[in-house]
Amino acid sequence: MKKRVERLRGMYDLLPEVYQQQQWVSEKVSKLLEHAGYAHVDSPVLEHSDLFHASFGQELWQNLYAFRIHQRDLCLRPEYTASICRLYLDHYQQQGLPQRFQYAGPIFRYEAPGRSRYRQHTQLGIEIFGGQPAAADAEMIQLACEVLHDLGISRYRLELGHVGVASGFINRLHLDDHAARLLLGLMEQISRSEEGERLAQERLERLYPADQALNKMASEVSPPATVLSGVDARYISSLLSGISISFGDDDVRREVVERFLWKMGRNEQRRQILNALEFLRELHAVSGPPPAVFEAVAELLERYGLDTSPLNELRQLVAVVEQCGVPSEQILLNLSLGRGVSYYTGLVFEIHAQEADGFDAQLCGGGRYDRLMRAVGSSRDIAACGFAIGLERLLAHIPQATLPVLNQTQALVIPVSANEFPYALRVARAAREAGQPVEVDISGHGVGAGLKQAVKKQILLALIVGEDEARQNEVTVRNLETSVEWRLPFGELANGLVADFGEEQKEQLV
C-alpha cells in the first residue's frame, strides 16, 4: 500500500470554524485601519531573495525558504515590510508623503514550531512612509493598542525600546560589520531571559574564541585598546625573527605577519564584543515601568557617555500613549529590546499577553526603519515605521464569547427522485437569495436517507420536493425537532421559513 502523504511539520490545516474566526478578525482589523486612512495592499508570496538581505543577516538566512530556480535566487516572503517597501518604490514614488498601507497574508519561516508558532502563519500589519517621526510612532503604537481593545484584549504588556542606544554604543567600538550585526541580532535573546543571555554568551565564545598566547603577547607589546593601530608589520616581523623563526623568503614572512595581525585583530574584536555584551546586560537590568525607570536609564547613559536623545523620544512617546488610555502599569521600558531583524533604526516595540496558564505570547511587534527603503533600491532614505500582528496568536487571546460561531445549514432540500433535482436546485437558490443557508441532498438515496442525514448534521428543516410539489410549485416543509409538516408556496419560501424559526435562529439567518 502506498504510504500516506502527511502534512509538513510546522504547517497546519485551517478547518471551517477557525477559518471563519480568522476571517472575522481580519475583517474587523481591516475596517478599523481603513477608518484610520490605511489602504489595503498585498504583495506576491514569492520575491527575489535580494529583497530580504537587508532584513535578515547571514545568521537568520538559514531560517528562510530561499532557493534557486532557472538561474534566479528566490524566497518565499518571510515578512511583509521589505515587500511593501518594494511595492512603494514600484507604484508610489511620485506621490506625496505620508502614505499609509495595511496588509494581511501568509508569511513563511523555517523556524522551530512551538505553541501558536507555525512555519506558515498569517501576518496583519501596517506601514507608514513619511510624516514627522514622533507623530508617526505615536500613531503606530496607538493603533496597535486600539486593535487589541477592539478585539476585547485589554490586559497586555507594551514593551518599548530604542535601537539607537545599543547601536550608538556598538558603533563606538569600531567592530567589523559582521560583529556589529551579530550583537544587534543577539539583543532579542539577551532581553528575553537569563537563559537567553547564556546562549548569547556561548555563541559569541564559539565565534570569537579566546587565544591566550595572543592575549599575553598583545599585553606586552601594546595597550589592549590600541593593539590594531599600534603594532605594525615591521615590528611584528622583527619580533618573530628574534624568537628564531625561519621564514624562508619574504612572501612567507609577509603571510605569517598578516595571519598574526589577523589573529590579533580577532582577539581585539572578541574583547570589544564581550564589552558590548556586558553593556547590553546592564541595559536590560534597568528595564522597568515608567516614570521611575527613566532616571535609572539616564544614569546608565551618562556613565557611558551616550546620547540621551533616544531616551527623550521615549519620554514623549510614553506621555502620548498614556493619554491615549494605555495604563502606565502596562508599559515597560526595555532599551535592550531587539526584534530579530536588522533594519530598525529607532523606536522598537512589542506587545505581550499571558494566557490562562501563564504562557507569555508576543501578539504584536514593530518599530522605525528609516534606512530600509534605500537598502531595497531607493535613491534616498525615507522615514518609515510599522507593526505586524500574528493572527494565529492573536486569535488565542480573543474572548471566546466575542468570536462568531460557525454558520450552520438551516435547511436541507431533499428531492424525492432524480427527476425533481432541477426543481430542488431552484428551491435552494430562492432560499439562499433570501439570505438563508440551505444545502441540497445530492446523495440520491431518497427521502428517508435524506432525513437521517439532516438529523445527523443537526439541520432544523427538511424541504421535501417530489413530483406533486414540483407540479404545484410548492415545497413540503418538515420541522425535524417537532416532526410537524406543512406545504409552502414557492413564492413564500423565504418568509415562511424565517417565520418557523425561533428568535435565535432568525438572528443567525439575518
Residue with cell 440551505: 438
Question: What is the predicted pLDDT for the residue at 55?
Answer: 79
Question: What is the predicted pLDDT for the residue at 71?
Answer: 95
pTM value surpassing 0.85:
no
Measured in degrees and rounded to the nearest 5, phi and psi for residue 23 equal: -60, -40
**Residue stretches of the chain with pLDDT short of 50:** 213-232, 243-245, 260-262, 264, 502-510
Q: Quick one: how many helices (H) and strands (E) in the chain?
A: 20, 16
Question: What is the predicted pLDDT for the residue at 341?
Answer: 65
Write the pLDDT tens digit of every residue in 338-365.
776 678 999 999 999 988 788 889 999 9
Residue 387 forms beta bridges with which residues?
126, 366
The closest alpha carbon to 434, from 488, 493, 494, belongs to 494
Distance CA 394, CA 433 (A): 34
Question: What is the predicted pLDDT for the residue at 237?
Answer: 54
Question: What is the predicted pLDDT for the residue at 197?
Answer: 64
Residue with cell 538566512: 61
